[in-house]
Chain A
Amino acid sequence: MELFKLTAHELQDKIKKGEAAPKEAWCALEERIKSVDNKVNAYVRHSQPVTQNPQFIPIAIKDNICTEGLNTECCSRILEGFKPPYDATVITKIKAANLAVFDLKANMDEFAFGSSTENSCFGPSHNPWNLECVPGGSSGGSAAAVASDQAFWALGSDTGGSIRQPASFCGIVGLKPTYGRVSRYGLVAFASSLDQIGPLTKDVEDSTLLMNIIAGHDANDATSADIPVPDYTKSLINDVKGLKIGIPKEYFVEGIHPEVKKSIEEAINKLKSLGAIIKEVSLPHTEYAVPVYYIVATAEASSNLARFDGVQYGLRVKTDNMIDMYKKTRGAGFGEEAKRRVLLGTFVLSHGYYDAYYLRALKVRTMIKEDFDRVFKECDCIVAPTAPTPAFKIGEKTGDPLSMYLSDIYTISVNLAGIPAISVPCGFTKSGLPVGLQIMAKPFAEEVLFRAAYTYEQNTEWHKQRPKL
């Protein structure tokens, strides 16, 4: 048995039964990384364990989650060499849970700006199912690492789909928790009203186990919710009888790839045959989600990225004038997409344009949230595609930012409304690329997501497929 192929819970069981030693798991993973990561480029850094203990299950960490003393660079030149002086709360929790923390840092789009992991200063990651394709993004390194058995599980962050879309493209499970469910302390901020950390895993059970560790209130994050955390493993119930599932008609219109549509329809039929009650619903403001997002997210990003000025950490381009130092440092340190977003965000917040763009977007955000509130009065969850297409080719969309932005059309509303959503594997295209099924629920109803996702997974074989590398 090759240990690297196991899920985290399978490995945990083996260790408990004495059938595998923790050290063997790490060695197997190290070998696997050595033999395939030259093709996948999932990691930007990997090295020996930082902590060692009995429940030795390594985890891959997106490069925007602070780990004390270990480089955390957001795949940006401006943060080259940055070693955070403290751990993110999720890392503190992982250490407290007796899990090993390694320097296993996963590739990403710079500052999480992107949908393909092509905007990384370390070069793109490749989709393990087809190396000419992107793994999705921005948590593309995390997703590619899990899908190619180079990680038992991983942490990512999701601002507009950055966990779910790569999970869909790579054929794994990705969860965006409710806003406020997981502490953002130590997550390098992109858009503070949208960002959430969440798990990328090989199956639903691992997702519940990781959520049990990372969820909960944190005094260091004023926006974290002081609401008790249930034991999510109790939601691993293989039964959806009577579960009311809404299918939003706006998610099946122009732009959806026919093979994605077919896979999703088959998944819906599967859930129906397992006893779920299926009902068509409407989220009428869906088409406005992408424009709202590119105002709200870039406005918040332009403010959050003001801290990268060459004074306290990271890159500094030396000049003898302060303003020039800022300009040259940021000009040299930010990549193309980061510049584009900071400029757009600065523009929509600038004098004379604030009401026309930013304030208007916040109002339409209310409408999008109200769409969900209405639907959740009559449904337990909503089922839709995670992405309109399977993974696209590397380079296909890099020249056209707008078409890249539209690849998040089905995931963005969830962040704007602050609700939780999960992507689970639900099929493959004829050319062998994975398709993801997205399930959304009302705030703090992760248990509903897990139950629906687990039932679907246990009655299908998609999650057992692995790419040949």
Chain B
Amino acid sequence: MAIDRKTVEYVAHLARIELTPKELEKLEHQLQDILGFIDKLSRLDISQTPPTSHILSLSNVLREDTPKSSLPAEKVLANAPSREADFFSVPKVIE
């Protein structure tokens, strides 16, 4: 499977990463190399094998629904790049 410039641009948009033209060109070639290497997996017959998404056979890890205290707002907001009162401040989203 080859990956072209348009696909790299589209994936970068999906991942919300701005790339310079120079970065795009480099990444196009590197991703091609890596995907070429990954294609090795298509040699295997996987029709009879179930997927493993998680190694421990845990399911539905539940706990009692008891209220616990949360972090104080001041502590949560301490790292905010921009804030107003007790809120994170961001550029306007709704016109």
A61 at the interface (CB under 8 A from B): no
Residue of A with least CB distance to B39: A291
Interface membership of A451, Cβ < 8 A:
no
Contacts A219-B63, A327-B16, A350-B11; A361 near B41 (Cβ below 8 A): yes
Which residues of the partner chain B approach A402 to less than 8 Å between Cβ atoms? 33-34, 37
Partner of B52, one of A312, A327, A365: A365
A-B contact count (CB 8 A): 158
Tell whether, in the assembled complex, residue B50 and residue A363 are in contact, meaning their CB atoms are under 8 Å apart: yes
Q: Scoring A residues 304 to 333 as 1 if CB is less than 8 Å from chain B, else 0, what string do you get?
A: 001001111111101111110111101110
| B56 & A313 in contact (Cβ 8 Å cutoff) | no
Q: Does A458 contact B (CB under 8 A)?
A: no
Measured CB to CB, the closest approach of chain A to B31, in angstroms, equals 6
Number of interface residues of A (CB under 8 A): 72
Secondary structure call for the A interface: helix
A343, B41: Cβ atoms under 8 Å?
no
- A363–B49 contact, CB under 8 A? yes
Chain B residue with the shortest CB-CB distance to A357: B38
Q: In the bound complex, do residue B27 and residue A288 qualify as a contact, i.e. CB atoms below 8 Å apart?
A: no
What residues of chain B have their CB less than 8 Å away from a CB belonging to chain A?
1, 3, 7-8, 11-19, 23, 27, 30-31, 33-35, 37-38, 40-42, 44, 46, 49-56, 58, 61, 63, 71, 75-76, 78-82, 88, 90-93
- Determine which of A292, A294, A313, A417 lies in contact with B81 in the assembled complex, contact meaning CB atoms within 8 Å: A313
Q: Which B residues lie within 8 Å of A367 (CB)?
A: 44, 46, 49
On whether the beta carbons of A369 and B38 are closer than 8 Å, the reply is no
**Contact (Cβ within 8 A) B17 A363:** no
Q: Nearest Cβ in chain B — how far from A450, in angstroms?
A: 21
Residue contact A327 to B17, C-beta cutoff 8 Å? yes
Q: CB distance A291 to B78 under 8 Å?
A: no
Q: DSSP class of B's interface residues: helix, strand, loop or mixed?
A: loop
Give, as a whole number of angstroms, the nearest-CB distance from A297 to chain B. 12
B56 CB contact (under 8 Å) in A180, A330, A332, A363: A180
In the complex, which residues of chain A have a beta carbon less than 8 angstroms from the beta carbon of B40? 287-288, 291
> Once the chains bind, are A359 and B51 in contact (CB under 8 Å)?
yes
B34 adjacent to A294 (CB under 8 Å) = yes
**Is A155 engaged at the interface, CB distance under 8 Å to the other chain?**
no
Q: Which of B23, B55, B76 is A339 in contact with, Cβ under 8 Å?
A: B23
| Residue from A290, A310, A350 within 8 A of B14 (CB atoms) | A350
CB distance from B69 to the nearest CB of A (A): 12
With a cutoff of 8 Å between Cβ atoms, the chain A residues found around residue B56 in the complex are 179-180, 223, 225, 418
Determine the distance from Cα of A363 to Cα of B11 in the docked complex, in whole angstroms. 24
